[in-house]
A and B are shown apart, each in its own frame.
Chain A
Amino acid sequence: MANIASTTASAGTEVTARALREAVFAGLVTLGLFVLFVGLKTDQNIRNELILTQRWGLLATFVIIAMVGRFLMVAYAQPWLAQRKATKAAAPEVVKEESFFSRNFSKIAIVALILYPPVILALTGVQGSLKWVDNFGIQILIYVMLAWGLNIVVGLAGLLDLGYVAFYAVGAYSYALLSSYFGLSFWVLLPIAGLLAACWGIILGFPVLRLRGDYLAIVTLAFGEIIRLVLINWTEVTKGTFGVSGIAKATLFGIKFDASKDGFAAMMGLPISSAYYKIFLFYLILGLCMITAFVTIRLRRMPVGRAWEALREDEIACRSLGINTTTTKLTAFATGAMFGGFAGSFFAVRQGFVSPESFVFLESAVILAIVVLGGMGSLTGIAIAAIVMIGGTEILRELTFLKVIFGPNFTPELYRMLIFGLAMVIVMVWKPRGFVGSREPTAFLRERKAVSGSFTKEGHG
């Protein structure tokens, strides 16, 4: 007994000694790496001369962080992980009963989203709610809808589309131009914008039918750029880089959201505030998202949805089963583009202003990143990825306390893309198939078993 205790004790001191050794080593490496980067800084003095500022304190902070981190890692984290692994291996495999929360996740999420604006309104007041409903709610939901739309093309049909933002642009400009030139209302133009975007989806679809993989990606990328360049250069219609401004707002059954006598606030006896319009828009985009999800879920159980997934798995086998791959691909492009068009016209009505600036390649990349991070084909995973990615970048604006640590010149928003990229790398290492990597089968005989991500293919383009 005493013997065992002494051996564990000696093992403990051994680990601590090793941790100290490695901590010193890590400190030396850090010192070597950062002595010129951090310890010394070239600067300009008041007479425009180059001088060397010494920052030994900062360097010491770096070295200490590295040493402490390495020590904790070796002394505590690694034994703990090893122990956990051992207990996990020793414990018999228990079939985990799905909790109530995970079983009803989507229902709970929808209820939470419906309750979100009133709760925010109650917590932060009318003016305070603006930021939370608009920047977080609406902004995230637009990306959720775009990513769900792209999911049809990339996640289900396996066609890599790098120019998805083109359809977003088509939708936005359809609404902006048709409403300002012809004075049509949002509710008329919403379906029209969707249809126009779907037409452009087919127009893009035709030339790329024969292309696969990288070649398809490049052509769709080019298509996105073409649309943007047309919007910039066709100045007579689109006003070029100045964009279209003063776009009409949406109305609720003809009730306007403005300060007039028959506006929404006056009719309801509420104080005049733009917050009500934002809340209306929140419910509007929530409704559009729900339609997208509903249609996607329904389509997956239709022959066309199954054909999309079969196309992703094996195109030649599809053709041998009598599936017309041409129309199948075109319907995937058109359906995906249609949802992009809806989201675009919503974007125009929310901003009241559209310009080609909003439809750069980066947007396509962000939407695609959300789809890939979420897990191709999974609506839940994609929604989570959109919240993490878009909500995360918005949260960075809120982190003003970081200025206390890094100095008043530090603006966390500037590190947005850095953190974005880092997060993507981490998620892809940790979950290579995205947040939800498994696939729900569309039909079953006895029990519905999720198909592991290791069997599904990404498609060949």
Chain B
Amino acid sequence: MAPETSTMTKDPILKVEHLSMRFGGLMAINDFSFEAGRGDITALIGPNGAGKTTVFNCITGFYKPTMGMITMRQRSGKEYLLERLPDFEITKQARVARTFQNIRMFSGMTVLENLLVAQHNKLMLASGYTFLGLFGFPAYRQASKEAIELARHWLERASLIDRADDPAGDLPYGAQRRLEIARAMCTEPELLCLDEPAAGLNPRESHSLNELLQSIRRDTGTSILLIEHDMSVVMEISDHVVVLEYGQKISDGNPDFVKNDPKVIAAYLGVEDEEVEQVIEQIEEIEGEQGGIKQ
């Protein structure tokens, strides 16, 4: 069996090349490269502290990487170098939306308002940068009606429609997670980055999350990049898994391949002392094979 380590995706939406991020003396990410395919669900996994969220923060512009290149290629063929854009432009122009590990909502605003804030740039343009809207021009009224319709659409998808007029801070935890995804989708992204969307969800909720994510991909063609610890989510929905440990990529391929990769098993479960040599041997063997393929 030829291991599926080829990272060459046919039409990558996101290409991360030689990404490094240094915090003082700590190398949080070290020469990390991967690609996310268009229309794929790509999962980024790894033990705690492996640098997954740092990768996310680099992609979405919250950190400026020390080194490396992040290329976002849109459906239209337009390319953006994300490491050069300020964070808000990454959502506005490059159309990469994200959610957060610890939910960040506008808790004092209603669920509907949360989704309207996400459509800020579109509405800003329609309101003539506030000036036309202030004097009640019809273009803004039309646009705001459409914005509410889009919000209604995503509320229905995330089954939050009954809570639309409640403050977001009043929602239960699982609903807040769904709201964050719905809000990100209201920015009409091409790439959706989810930071641990299933954290703290019960099995039923994470099952409905799976369905939501798959339907998003199916209906909108949005590519999804997610960080996740819940393997039932990762293995079930993702097309492509990248494993990170100590800031370095240790495995990359389809879920089955990654699940059986001894390096991944070692990273997650650790190994008995007497097995260490055996595992190292195995790893070397595989690396030899990979080298052979590459050559």
Chain A positions within 8 Å of B, measured between CB atoms, are: 295, 298-299, 301-304, 306-307, 309-310, 312-314, 316-325, 331, 439, 441-449, 451-452, 454-457
Contact = CB atoms under 8 A, between A and B. Distances in A.
A310 B109 contact: yes
B183 interface: yes
Given A320-B62, A320-B87, 15 more contacts: A303-B120, A303-B123, A304-B130, A313-B108, A320-B60, A320-B91, A321-B120, A321-B184, A323-B88, A323-B120, A324-B92, A331-B130, A445-B164, A455-B107, A456-B108
Contacts of A302: 123, 127, 130, 133-134, 140
Nearest to A450: B167
Contacts of B92: 322, 324
Contacts of B161: 445
A449 B110 CA distance: 9
A307 B120 contact: yes
B27 to A, nearest CB: 25
Contacts of B169: 454-455
A454 B107 CA distance: 10
Given A302-B133, A441-B113, A443-B116, A322 B108 contact: no
B73 interface: no
Given A317-B104, A320-B60, A320-B97, A441 B127 contact: no
15 contacts: A302-B127, A302-B134, A303-B127, A306-B120, A313-B107, A318-B88, A320-B99, A320-B100, A320-B184, A322-B89, A322-B120, A443-B144, A443-B148, A444-B165, A446-B164
A309 B127 contact: no
B88 A319 contact: yes
A301 B143 CA distance: 13
Given A320-B100, A444-B165, A449-B165, A313 B112 contact: no
Contacts of A442: 113, 116
Contacts of A314: 104-106
Contacts of A323: 88, 117, 120-121
Given A304-B124, A321-B187, A322-B187, A455 B134 contact: no
Nearest to A453: B108
B82 to A, nearest CB: 13
Interface string B38-62: 0000000000000000000000101
* A-B interface, 9 closest residue pairs, ranked by CB to CB distance from nearest: A456-B108, A322-B91, A313-B106, A322-B92, A455-B169, A317-B104, A303-B123, A455-B167, A445-B164
Nearest to A448: B165
Contacts of A455: 107-108, 167-170
Contact of A444 (B108, B110, B118, B119): B110
B205 interface: no
Nearest to A325: B88
Contacts of A441: 109-110, 112-113, 165
A322 B121 CA distance: 7
Contacts of B166: 449
A400 to B, nearest CB: 46
A327 to B, nearest CB: 10
B152 interface: yes
A309 B98 CA distance: 20
Contacts of B155: 445
Given A303-B130, A320-B100, A444-B110, A310 B117 contact: yes
Contacts of A447: 165
Interface in B159-214: 161, 164-170, 183-184, 187
A439 B113 CA distance: 12
Contact of A443 (B88, B112, B134): B112
B169 to A, nearest CB: 4
A319 B87 contact: yes
A455 B161 CA distance: 20
A107 to B, nearest CB: 20
Contact of B91 (A316, A321, A331): A321
B106 A317 contact: yes
A457 B134 contact: no
B124 A303 contact: yes
Contacts of B117: 306-307, 310, 318, 321, 323
Contacts of B121: 322-323
A320 B110 contact: no
B138 to A, nearest CB: 15
Contacts of B91: 319-322
Contact of B108 (A301, A309, A321): A309
